[in-house]
Amino acid sequence: MRYAIDKSAYCDAAIIEERRLPARSYFVAFPDRASAGAVTPERRRYDSPLVRCLSGEWDFRFYPRPAELPDVLDTDAVTWDRVAVPGCWQFQGYDHPFYVDERYQFPFDPPRVPREEPMGPVFSLIGEGGQGAHVAHPKDEYNFVGVYRRLFDLSEREATAGHVITFLGVASCLDLYLNGERVGYSEGSHNTAEFDLSPYQRAGQNELLAVVRRWCTGSYLECQDMFRNNGIFRDVLLREVTPCGIWDVKVRTWREERASRVRYRLRADVTLAGGGEVRATLRGHDLERASETSAGNGRATLAFDELDVLEWTAETPNLYGLYLETGTECVLLRVGFREARVDGRRFLVNGRPVKLHGVNHHDTSPTAGYTMTPAEIERDVRLCKEHNIDTIRTSHYPPDPLLLELCDELGVYVIDEADLETHGALVGKFPARQNRLTDDARWRPRYLDRAERLFERDKLHPCVIMWSLGNEAGGGCNADAMYELIRSRSDLPVHYEGAIHSLRRAYDVGSEMYATVERVRSVGEGSSTTRRLNDRPYLLCEYAHAMGVGPGGIEDYWEQIYSYDALMGGCVWEMVDHAVLHPDGSYTYGGDHGEWEHDGNFCVDGLFYPDRTPSTGARIVRHCYRPLRVRHVGGDWFRLFNATGFTPGDAFTLRFEWSDGGVAEVVPDVDPLRHATVLVQPTSHEASDEGAGLRRNRVRLVTVITTRRATGEEVAREQFALSGLEPLGETGLARVARFPEGCEVTGDGLVLPGSMRPAATPVLLSRAATDNDRYLDGRCPMERLYDCRREVVSTVSGEGSAEVVTRLVYPHHRFLCTTSYEAVRAGVLVTTRLHCERGRGDLPRFGVCYRLDDLWDDVEYLGRNGESYRDMCEQAQIERVRCHVADMTEPNIRPQESGNRMDCQYVTLSNGERSVQLTAVDRPFELAVKAYSDEGLRAMRHREDEVRTGTYVTIQAFQMGIGTGSCGPATRPEYRFSCKDDHTLRYLVSWEHM
């Protein structure tokens, strides 16, 4: 079949769509009530006899040179490949994955996008690795075209009915054809595009052709920080339009509270394809109400009032079924009764203040880009629930509608965001101007189009508690127009962080990203220098950048959030790492695919690894977002805080377990967002592992395990030290006359019989930089303390004692390091003192590293049972842990410092025959055990680089905290250590044959 291909709509600034149907609610129609009620949300769009999902294998032809796409395409003459729809062509062997954050992939020259010519030079004010303004000359970059073809049959009966085709996501735009004729055009990648196929369809075989381009005018509004993918990346649905078909539904509910009695009113406005009777039945939780009316002009309104219902919240996701039936169809809407509104400085759900424990969520898969299967979407929502996350901001576009259905069902609040970001407008031209497009009225229709399609598609979901106008597009008249449009149709508050960059500053709620704790506090107090933030609620729409190890310091934000009514909470950036998984199991990130510009591993910044394995970040967040918080106030007294909005304290059980075996269980009585103080004493005793000799536990601890009473599910574990570290018994430390056989003190340090010796760099003051140690301004404070020249100043040895003084010389610092070794009954007591002779600033760490060969693989330690640093340690509890060396570091996609263990009392390494133990003397130490040296680690870029070269044990007086400096405030002062202070590390080394 031959097609005259349209080659102008995609690059015509005056065209946003051609013959695209007006935006409407997403739902799935069924022939009758029984079939509508019988499916799960995951199956809904696939199981209706009225809807055919066209996803599957489609014919595909990729045109790397757009000029080669014929003006008249003869589909019979094309050699077709086959690809999966939905899919992204960069993940299917065409072009390659391309990751860039804030820049366009093409020259910034709005509204022009590259057409058939090779893409010319690209100017940018920023570049990789701190490179400033520059011009790049990319090669072989074109506005690639992918042509998709799908054949489908219609029976004689079907061909007499109308059909609407629904594309849930196509990047960047879609020219649609059927049976040789042009159907229409649409752009707006993450917005639904629907067309009426009726005029072009026929009985028998139909040929559908979709021409998809890499970029269109709309791409100027899609400069989000993500892999820039293309293709038909969400499901394609073919819906039969029945004579009394339901076209659109708007459901509104009103909450009426009188004398603490809550009643709701509900109104459903139904738009029909034809006329006829409409019946509405509202069912659920012992309620059944029905109403019927006939639709004049294809419109019907059905209303229920005085509804005594269970309200919907993320904590209580009570849903009702609203069945809308016509002569030919039934649509089941899952309705939730909830109200979200702003009251002065407070954000209220159902009249009560809530705190949003949020994350930012992208639709992302390591094997399919933007495409996620229903099971993967469900897994993400469930992961949120399992990690005490109650809010998702759909950064930075409307998600697959299934995500919203599942958030309704499972209980997650959603801040639903428009598909909009123009970050590259800031850096694509001199002078840098944030509002270049957002304040340019010529772009208004496109902005409004995106606002309208966001609202209209998602207006039925109780989980949506706020609309968001987009991300990082600056402020201006077009954002204002979006706001007006949405507020003219919806009662929900509107959020938009970008407003902060305009005179307007904020819409219904104030919002910022990566603000410091001090700034957040000032907003909470109402004393912010940005005055518009002082009279409304405030959201951290992004905070705690979860790139690499971290995020550190997140608890400090929550201390503020729980202290001030105006602070609504925040959404961690972001839920999942973006990276590409290859068949050999390796992962790649920006720059690994031949991108001519990229932002490296800035896309690897999630709480979960790409395969959704939780990283330490997920554990930190789960801990910080726990619904019930416990604090030890002294003696047997504990202070409880109920961090929920609606769940009474007695929904939980607290089990207290003291380290000596004492146990108590408490069902707390504390209302949402209230405190209570309780006295808790052990009521019974159980056997406990306190250890013996040098391995005994020397700190009195109490661990509190919080479980949900209804399900038994554990939601949090907290621990409190009730004493300091009990000193090592004097007997073990009694001096003896000489060092044991085979033990030797050298200028480098202590050498033990059986392979333990100082590592090549025995004293470590720096660390292999974490992503959070590399600040956005290009600085890395670690760098200054990497290159060390060690000079032995003096060595003195006596009877059973020795002292070695070395000088550590760095480019900007000089330290004197004095280590004394004393032979004692239990082994050798080592004391290392560090004194700064020159330099200033912070010390990333102070530790001593020993190397053993890689047969020493068994590790036992008593300390925090997982990765922990000074500003991110509460998620891990002090326990006796037995594991292997490989378990002591984290599988970061880009290797970096990881796996620190805080509050360690001892560590034992063994090779099956012998063991060596390092024991804290007067203060717990921090522990690192790695399969490679820190110098080696510095050079590693991918997981495969982590090749084992031995067993490296580092015990440290301290490591500085992690912070979120990769995109946000760096480590706070209270988690830093000045190099001006003298520091001491003291430990006992002992060993034995097993």
To the nearest whole angstrom, how small is the minimum distance from the Cβ of residue 61 to ligand GAL? 33
Cβ distance to ligand GAL smaller for residue 395 or 706: 395
Cβ distance to ligand GAL smaller for residue 480 or 542: 542
Cβ distance to ligand GAL smaller for residue 826 or 967: 967
To the nearest whole angstrom, how small is the minimum distance from the Cβ of residue 226 to ligand GAL? 8
**40 vs 530: CA distance, rounded Å:** 47
Cβ distance to ligand GAL smaller for residue 178 or 415: 415
Question: Which residues within the stretch 216-235 sit at the binding site for ligand GAL (CB under 6 A)?
Answer: 225
Q: Is the peptide bond before 387 cis (omega within 30 degrees of 0)?
A: no
| Rounded to 5°, angle at Cα 171 from 19 and 113 | 85
Asked if 189 interacts with ligand GAL (CB under 6 A), we say: no
To the nearest whole angstrom, how small is the minimum distance from the Cβ of residue 576 to ligand GAL? 12
The residue type at 967 = C
Asked if 967 interacts with ligand GAL (CB under 6 A), we say: yes
Handedness of CA 364, 368, 372, 378 (dihedral sign): negative
Active site residue 542: yes
Cβ distance to ligand GAL smaller for residue 471 or 898: 471
- CB–CB of 208/177 below 8 Å? yes
- The residue annotated as part of the active site, out of 194, 542, 822, 926, is 542
Q: Which residue has the tokens 């009103």?
A: 254
**871 vs 873: CA distance, rounded Å:** 6
To the nearest whole angstrom, how small is the minimum distance from the Cβ of residue 602 to ligand GAL? 6
**913 vs 886: CA distance, rounded Å:** 20
Asked if 772 interacts with ligand GAL (CB under 6 A), we say: no
**Contacts (Cβ under 8 Å, ≥6 apart) of 654:** 628, 630, 640, 665, 666, 667, 668, 680, 704, 705, 706
Q: Indicate the SS3 state at residue 76.
A: helix
Active site residue 277: no
To the nearest whole angstrom, how small is the minimum distance from the Cβ of residue 507 to ligand GAL? 17
Write the DSSP string, 140-188: S----EEEEEEEEEE-HHHHHSEEEEEES-EESEEEEEETTEEEEEEE-
Q: Indicate the SS3 state at residue 130.
A: helix
Cβ distance to ligand GAL smaller for residue 225 or 235: 225
To the nearest whole angstrom, how small is the minimum distance from the Cβ of residue 894 to ligand GAL? 14
Asked if 452 interacts with ligand GAL (CB under 6 A), we say: no
Q: Is 993 exposed, middle or buried (0-12, 13-18, 19+ CB in 10 A)?
A: exposed
Q: Which residue has the tokens 């250890």?
A: 691
HSE on the CB side for 858, CA within 13 Å? 11
Asked if 579 interacts with ligand GAL (CB under 6 A), we say: no
Q: Indicate the SS3 state at residue 862.
A: strand
Cβ distance to ligand GAL smaller for residue 476 or 863: 476
- CB–CB of 628/168 below 8 Å? no
Asked if 605 interacts with ligand GAL (CB under 6 A), we say: yes
Cβ distance to ligand GAL smaller for residue 588 or 865: 588
Q: Indicate the SS3 state at residue 773.
A: helix
Cβ distance to ligand GAL smaller for residue 224 or 253: 224
Q: Is 798 exposed, middle or buried (0-12, 13-18, 19+ CB in 10 A)?
A: exposed
Map residues 975-994 to x or -, x wherever contact with ligand GAL holds by CB under 6 A: --------------------
Asked if 400 interacts with ligand GAL (CB under 6 A), we say: no
**238 vs 43: CA distance, rounded Å:** 15
Asked if 599 interacts with ligand GAL (CB under 6 A), we say: no
Select from 698, 695, 740 the least CA-distant residue to 910.
695
**368 vs 7: CA distance, rounded Å:** 28
Q: Please select the residue that binds ligand GAL; options are 212, 251, 392, 513, rule is CB under 6 A.
A: 513
The 10 Å Cβ neighbour count of residue 204 is 10
CA distances, 952 to each of 183, 753, 762, 850, 915 (Å): 65, 16, 10, 6, 14
| Rounded to 5°, angle at Cα 154 from 188 and 402 | 40
- The residue annotated as part of the active site, out of 329, 378, 472, 867, is 472
Quote the distance between the C-alpha of residue 17 and its chain's center.
Answer: 33
Cβ distance to ligand GAL smaller for residue 472 or 934: 472
Cβ distance to ligand GAL smaller for residue 772 or 875: 772
To the nearest whole angstrom, how small is the minimum distance from the Cβ of residue 100 to ligand GAL? 11
Cβ distance to ligand GAL smaller for residue 322 or 967: 967
**696 vs 206: CA distance, rounded Å:** 77
Asked if 356 interacts with ligand GAL (CB under 6 A), we say: no
Q: Please select the residue that binds ligand GAL; options are 363, 542, 556, 857, rule is CB under 6 A.
A: 542
To the nearest whole angstrom, how small is the minimum distance from the Cβ of residue 778 to ligand GAL? 16
Question: Which residues within the stretch 63-102 sit at the binding site for ligand GAL (CB under 6 A)?
Answer: 101
**109 vs 431: CA distance, rounded Å:** 14
To the nearest whole angstrom, how small is the minimum distance from the Cβ of residue 396 to ligand GAL? 6
Asked if 607 interacts with ligand GAL (CB under 6 A), we say: no
Under rule CB under 6 A, how many of the chain's residues touch ligand GAL? 13
Could you tell me if residue 900 is left (phi over 0), alpha (psi between -120 and 50 degrees) or otherwise beta?
beta
**533 vs 527: CA distance, rounded Å:** 9
CA distances, 193 to each of 185, 235, 237, 661 (Å): 9, 11, 11, 63
Q: Please select the residue that binds ligand GAL; options are 27, 455, 467, 573, rule is CB under 6 A.
A: 573
Q: Which backbone phi and psi does 982 adopt, to 5 degrees?
A: -80, 140
To the nearest whole angstrom, how small is the minimum distance from the Cβ of residue 512 to ligand GAL? 11
Could you tell me if residue 465 is left (phi over 0), alpha (psi between -120 and 50 degrees) or otherwise beta?
alpha
**706 vs 667: CA distance, rounded Å:** 10
CA distances, 932 to each of 893, 896, 947, 950, 959 (Å): 16, 11, 7, 6, 18
Cβ distance to ligand GAL smaller for residue 405 or 605: 605
Select from 666, 681, 719 the least CA-distant residue to 697.
719
Question: Which residues within the stretch 455-494 sit at the binding site for ligand GAL (CB under 6 A)?
Answer: 471-472
Q: Which residues bind ligand GAL (CB under 6 A)?
A: 101, 225, 395-396, 471-472, 513, 542, 545, 573, 602, 605, 967
Catalytic residue numbers? 472, 542
